[in-house]
Amino acid sequence: MYDIGIIGGGTAGMTAAIYGQRAGKRTVIIEGGTFGGQITSSPNVENYPGITSVSGSEFSMNLLDQAMKLGAETETERVTGIRDEGTVKVIETTGREYPCRSVILATGVTHRHLGVPNEERLTGAGVSYCATCDGAFFRGRDVAVVGGGSTALQDAEFLCNYCRKVYLIHRRDEFRGEESIVKRLRGKDNIEFVLSTVVKEIVGDMAVEGLVLNNKKTGEDFRIDVAGVFIAVGQIPQNEIFADTVKLDAGGFILAAEDCMTSCPGIFAAGDCRTKEVRQLTTAAADGAVAALAACRYVAEN
């Protein structure tokens, strides 16, 4: 029997394991893919307090090493569901079952991709899904943001403080995001709207050099030269298998506030998988700590 079962081996999950182990609880992290989460694909992390610069993979491996040295157990298996038996929550996987006194869901999200040539190959070499994480690397250079929602608008506003020019590319002729942000962007000299346009190809050998675009109204293909492209066309949570156990919002995110408590007693949610405004490395770590301490209290009281 585990005191805390953690589903997801990203920053939130591994931080939860560290806090759980330090509180004297028996914890297990179950990860269906690669330990470390999305940050492992980032070549440089420079926005984590106290660390000037580190690769995402090194950061993740340090976290995993710390958790394991404290005694956290790790399993690489695909979780298929949770069976709620009251004071015991049984994590079901393709291989076995893990009875736990509490569970922390830290499944993260995946970024929706454009699905265009060279996108995957150049991820981390000019293709990014996080302007806040990577924007400073493109100081004084030309970049593009792809998307029409509030996240894309906020990314463009953030990047215009660093970059020489920001192209904001959207497939429709009007943005879906907040009109107040659109108005602010219209007043920025270094932001250019490229509307009714889609990306056909990302160009570059070792790094991003430009984009081939297509104007949907005229059918014309044309190229812009940029050093980076920030793709903000949505995030996809991976919580469908928990829909019968905890409440989700319309977007599929787990309904949980800053206390990380879900609708089901004894099950907590941490990191990008839950409803929240800011999804960053620091907030994932914070959630992991909050969720672990909440789980410890639950275990002590039940």
Give the CATH number, domain containing residue 204: 3.50.50.60
User: Mean pLDDT across the stretch 159-187?
Assistant: 94
Per-residue confidence (pLDDT) for residue 39, from 0 to 100? 83
For the question of residue 134 being annotated catalytic, the response is yes
Do 220 and 243 sit in the same domain of this protein? no
Single out the residue in 211, 231, 251 at which a domain terminates.
231
Let me know if residue 116 belongs to a domain: no
**pLDDT band at 130; cut points 50, 70, 90:** confident
Average pLDDT over residues 12-25: 98
Residues 227 and 86 occupy one common structural domain = no
Domain assignment present for residue 31? The answer is: yes
* 140 and 58 together in one domain: no
pLDDT of residue 208: 98
Asked if residue 107 and residue 36 are part of one domain, the reply reads: yes
Judge whether 295 lies within some domain: yes
Q: Looking at the structure, do residues 157 and 200 belong to the same domain, yes or no?
A: yes
Please indicate, yes or no, whether residues 103 and 248 belong to a single structural domain of this protein: yes
Last residue of a domain, one of 178, 202, 231: 231
Biggest distance spanned by C-alpha atoms of the chain: 65
What is the per-residue pLDDT for 217? 95
- DSSP assignments along the chain, one per residue: -BSEEEE--SHHHHHHHHHHHHTT--EEEEESS-TTGGGGG-S-B--STT-S-B-HHHHHHHHHHHHHHTT-EEEE--EEEEEEETTEEEEEESS-EEEES-EEE---EEEPP---TTTTTTBTTTEES-HHHHGGGGTTSEEEEE--SHHHHHHHHHHTTT-SEEEEE-SSSS-SS-HHHHHHHHT-TTEEEE-SEEEEEEE-SSS--EEEEEETTT--EEEEE-SEEEE-S-EEE--GGGTTTS-B-TTS-B---TT-B-SSTTEEE-GGGBS-S---HHHHHHHHHHHHHHHHHHHHH-
Segments forming the whole domain that contains residue 89: 4-111+235-301
Active site residue 260: no
Does residue 80 sit in the same domain as residue 150? no
Residue 56 lies in a domain: yes
Q: Do residues 287 and 208 share a domain?
A: no
33 pLDDT higher than 90: no
pLDDT at 283 over 90: yes
Active-site residue, selected from the candidate residues 133, 160, 163, 296:
133
Residues 269 and 285 in one domain: yes
Q: Per the residue annotation, which of 134, 142, 272, 287 is the catalytic one?
A: 134
Catalytic residue among 3, 100, 130, 287: 130
> Does 133 share its domain with 159?
yes
On whether both 69 and 144 belong to a single domain, the answer is no
Please give the tally of structural domains in the chain.
Answer: 2
Percent over 90 (pLDDT), the chain: 83
Q: Is 221 a catalytic residue?
A: no
Same domain, 154 and 224: yes
pLDDT score for 61 = 95
- How confident is residue 178, by pLDDT bands cut at 50, 70 and 90? confident
User: What digits encode the pLDDT tens for the residues 230-258?
Assistant: 999 988 898 999 999 999 999 999 999 99
Where does the pLDDT of residue 150 fall: very low under 50, low under 70, confident under 90, or very high at 90 and above? confident
